[in-house]
Structure 1
Amino acid sequence: MARKLRGQAVIAQPADRRRALTHSSPGAWQHPGIPQEVTGGRMVPTLQSPSTRAQRMQQISAHARAAITSLQENGLPPSPPYYTVWFEHHAGRKPELSHALDLAAARGRVTDTVMDDLSARFFQPQTEFKALSSALTRISGTLREALGIMASHGADAVSFGDSLNELSAEALLNPERLQSVLARLVDEAREMTRRTHEMGRKIAHSAQQIESLRGELEDTRKEANTDALTGLPNRRAFDAHLRAMAGQATESDQPLSMILIDIDHFKSINDRWGHPVGDAVLRRTAITVASLLRDQDVAARFGGEEFAVLLPRTLAGQAAQIAERIRAGVATQTLTLRTTGDELGDITASFGVAGYRGGEQTAAFLSRADQALYDAKKGGRNRVCGEQPARAQRWA
């Protein structure tokens, strides 16, 4: 059933987010031709019956229809990435994705930008997959070449051993041929030496190629986790940092805080001055945020005009003080158009701060910070709000 939250965005909730087991037979591991030690006693899916397949097809069709309906209700183009986001939401396979859609709906907007962020966050970028596939193919070829070199060297050793055996036999049975056998042995020893040097050179070259490919893979990984516009970690990287830091905070019983930042009236900036100016505002804000953080903190572009900061070993009150410094830094920046000399006017941002509660789901932590940000927006913008709206403060 569709519902609306604080705006016009429409989120249809999955009828059932639980996964259905196809079977639960205690002896399910006894798959024909696969012994128990191979499967480790795990359940191995069996062939589905026609009725089960029909039911599965009905479920898929229902999810597909719901995805198309959601695209239409939110005024989104039916592109494959957007369709995939909605399909997975209605299938209930990605609870964090559904929660992110709920948050977007709570703000009254599920825009193209939101969909692009969700697609990049929850589904592997095609460019990264292609780069990874290409690099793995090249590494595989390099390793095969190295193995071939070593196999060839092994064949030379076998040939040399045969010549040694022949030398021993000739010395006993045919002393007259000893000289020719010795000459051949010397030639083979020289050839082995040459091939050994060649093998070392080729293996060294192969090692260089593999190291180069490793670097390419690392660059691809960094690119996939970096926001191209601001140079900050993107939402996907932020989520990884959040999971890691939340786990560390729980294990060490240390505080962890989060700041969510939203540039005020950003749509008006884009509408009045154009997207290039909007991009410049985003870059300048990113620089301001990063410059006012400590080495231990992690800032990321959260999506659209939003940024997020994780502050390990930091109480919420301390995080609010840091957020206030960032707020003041953003508010004091002056942007001037190079072409006309016009000033853009005041650039401000709103801030929501929350502290992590040991052991809680990261989605709940994020939701509380998002609610604090919403309170800051609702309260007049250009302010820092904590988790408790009654205790929210404004710094003008």
Structure 2
Amino acid sequence: MNTPAAPKVQVPDIAAQVTYAMRIMGIAPIPRNYELFYEAYIGSSPQLTREVAALGSKATQEELDAIGAKHFGHHRAEAIDGAHTKMVSQLDALLHLLKQEQSSLESYNRLLDETYSRINDKNHASAEIIRSAINVLSAATGDTITQGKEMVENVAQKSREMDLVRRELDEYKRIANTDSLTQLSNRRAFDDKLAAIYNNPMLHGVTALVLADIDHFKKINDTYGHPVGDKILASVGSIIRASVRKDVFLARTGGEEFALIVEGNTLDEVVAMAERVRIALEHTPFKNSRTGVNYGRVTISLGLCMASDAESPSELYSKADIALYCAKNGGRNRTMAFEEGMKKDFSKSWLIYRK
């Protein structure tokens, strides 16, 4: 059963106001900036709100990133710094072992040189020289072999310890780049992936950014509450993940928004993939298995742009965002690819975007 349509209200919600404020200030529409302005708007940290407000009507990306790092990154940075400290300590210990081995080998080489000189000295009896040389070299060789075995064991132990630290760092990175609700990549991981798109110009023609947004999600939260909304978000993420190839990058970039970065496909193939996602979600029933409550149909709108149609990550995101806006404005539950003609229809006021 579909949820009855709520009466239209001419007051924009938080997400719309945040997006509008960013556009008025000329802030790049990338996820980490949205996170910063969203948290500042809702007042989760009064200090954060004051610092963002102090930037005035214009702000550089460097200033925004500095505030973001200060308020969002310190708790994970401490753990990562600790792991890095361990890694440096292990490397120092390994270097010390290698220097000891080098010193031992240098001493052995000096002994060989001295013995060779004695053998060539005609002032000594040959038999005594050879006997002495054999004893010295035998003892030195035995010591060197023993030290070598110990060195191998120590290096192996240090290598195991360093591997544990590496795994610890990998886990910190995974946690730092994972959205806790959906277990998909988060906006931090998305920012990195988006920035890397233009590293290889040869792939621009077969790389696309797809932005997806759940339709009327605010109504779902208002009607059934945020716990239900969170479960629906997690389910939508799972459905999208199951509808695309494993190598497609998928992230929850904020609120009810998802992003996909598709590599190795033409425009028509990307559109077809987006449609598979949309139809799969449209045909999935959303019910409470315990109470039997039907939450109605859940749909998404998708906007996409090929990397070859933009000059930078920021422009690519902006054009995919415009296509998403047009999909919303055109009736929702549809996929639209960016076209230059869309710009004239694009409104700076995204009041319709979250209604």
Query: Which residue of structure 1 aligns with residue 99 of structure 2?
Result: 151
Query: Which residue of structure 2 aligns with residue 11 of structure 1?
Result: 21
CA contact (8 A) 1:298 1:309 kept: yes
Query: Which residue of structure 2 aligns with residue 219 of structure 1?
Result: 171
CA distance in 2, matches of 1:334, 1:136: 47
Which among 125, 132, 140 is matched to residue 73 of structure 2? 125
CA distance in 1, matches of 2:281, 2:198: 28
Kindly tell me: are residues 85 and 129 of structure 1, through their superposed partners in 2, closer, same or farther at Cα, counting changes over 3 Å?
farther
Which among 359, 375, 384 is matched to residue 326 of structure 2? 375
Q: Is structure 2 residue 311 aligned with structure 1 residue 360? A: yes
CA drift of 1:360 comes to 1.9
CA drift of 1:157 comes to 4.7
CA drift of 1:14 comes to 10
Which among 34, 46, 61 is matched to residue 94 of structure 1? 61
Q: Is structure 2 residue 304 aligned with structure 1 residue 304? A: no
CA drift of 1:12 comes to 7.9
CA distance in 1, matches of 2:64, 2:179: 20
Amino acid at match of 1:129: A
Which among 192, 197, 204 is matched to residue 149 of structure 2? 197
Task: Report which stretch shifted further, 328-337 or 316-325.
Answer: 316-325
Kindly tell me: are residues 203 and 308 of structure 1, through their superposed partners in 2, closer, same or farther at Cα, counting changes over 3 Å?
same
SS, match of residue 287 in structure 2: coil
Amino acid at match of 1:293: V
CA distance in 2, matches of 1:124, 1:362: 22
CA contact (8 A) 1:353 1:386 kept: yes
CA contact (8 A) 2:301 2:333 kept: yes
CA contact (8 A) 1:352 1:369 kept: yes
Cα shift readout 1:92-144 (whole Å, capped 9, x = no counterpart): 3318969xxxxxxxxxxxxxxxxxxx947x98722442233222222222222
Amino acid at match of 2:249: V
In the TM superposition, 1:210-249 aligns within 5 A as 210-248=162-200
Kindly tell me: are residues 84 and 218 of structure 1, through their superposed partners in 2, closer, same or farther at Cα, counting changes over 3 Å?
farther
Q: Is structure 2 residue 89 aligned with structure 1 residue 137? A: no
CA contact (8 A) 2:40 2:48 kept: no
Cα shift readout 1:233-291 (whole Å, capped 9, x = no counterpart): 2222223333333453x445624433221112223333443333222211211121122
Amino acid at match of 1:198: E
CA drift of 1:354 comes to 3.1
CA drift of 1:375 comes to 2.8
Unaligned runs of 5+ in 2: 1-13, 28-36, 346-355
Cα shift readout 1:205-250 (whole Å, capped 9, x = no counterpart): 11222233223323333332222322322222223333333453x4
CA drift of 1:189 comes to 4.3
CA distance in 2, matches of 1:271, 1:80: 29
Relative to the length of structure 2, the TM-score reads 0.69
Alignment identity in percent? 28
SS, match of residue 60 in structure 2: coil
| Alignment: residue pair count | 314
SS, match of residue 194 in structure 1: helix
SS, match of residue 11 in structure 1: helix
CA distance in 2, matches of 1:141, 1:6: 46
Kindly tell me: are residues 178 and 230 of structure 1, through their superposed partners in 2, closer, same or farther at Cα, counting changes over 3 Å?
same
CA distance in 2, matches of 1:267, 1:151: 64
Unaligned runs of 5+ in 1: 18-69, 99-117, 392-396
Query: Which residue of structure 2 aligns with residue 50 of structure 1?
Result: none
CA distance in 2, matches of 1:155, 1:356: 56
CA drift of 1:300 comes to 1.7
Amino acid at match of 1:132: I
CA drift of 1:201 comes to 0.4
Relative to the length of structure 1, the TM-score reads 0.63
CA contact (8 A) 1:82 1:119 kept: no
Amino acid at match of 2:79: A
CA contact (8 A) 2:278 2:334 kept: yes
SS, match of residue 130 in structure 1: helix
CA contact (8 A) 1:264 1:349 kept: yes
SS, match of residue 43 in structure 2: coil
Query: Which residue of structure 1 aligns with residue 348 of structure 2?
Result: none
CA drift of 1:306 comes to 0.5
CA distance in 2, matches of 1:215, 1:298: 22
CA distance in 2, matches of 1:326, 1:13: 29
